[in-house]
Amino acid sequence: MNKKGIYLIDDDELINISTQIQISEYFDANEFYIETFTDPIEAIEEIKFNFSQNIEPTICIIDFQMPKMNGDKVVRIIKEFHPETKCIMLSGNSSASIVADLVDENLLDFYISKPWEKKELLNKLNQCLPIINKISFE
């Protein structure tokens, strides 16, 4: 694969922009491709297309409650095609039992509540992808 994809999937565009701004400075644009989506179905299709274009889906940051499809379903679909993809749920409104099921099934790597702390998000990203471990987030 040529690049690693980081996908931000939230129906609130402001959340996507904020998250992208917070994480972009830690990833080399020559190695990482960061894309945002407000439509989970469009995101899944684009992730599949990008994979065919040598962009590996490395990390997905996904909201839980979205129109058309909830985040748990998005996680399941992504993991079905790309089981090695790390998934982080960033949500202010989710079902504890559904999130627990995702964790129990080893489909969800981390859950972060909205509003989130930048340090917490970066620490979780660092645990998913140690490429940024040279930076202290404390």
In a domain, 72, yes or no: yes
- pLDDT tens figures, 1-51: 589 999 999 999 999 999 999 999 888 888 899 999 999 999 999 999 999
pTM for the whole thing?
0.91
Tell me, what's the pLDDT at 94?
Answer: 74
Domain hosting residue 78, numbered range = 3-131
138 within some domain = no
Give dist(CA 106, CA 104) in Å, integer.
5
Would the pLDDT of 135 be above 70?
no
pLDDT band for 105, please (50, 70, 90 cuts): very high
* Count of structural domains within the chain: 1
pLDDT for 54 = 94
CATH number at residue 67: 3.40.50.2300
Residue 106 in domain: yes
For 130, residues 6+ apart whose C-beta sits below 8 A from its C-beta are: none
Task: Assign 53 a pLDDT band (cuts: 50, 70, 90).
Answer: very high
> Looking at the domain assignment, is residue 61 inside a domain?
yes
What integer pLDDT is reported at residue 98 of this predicted model?
86
Q: Is 53 a domain residue?
A: yes
**Residue 136 located in a structural domain:** no
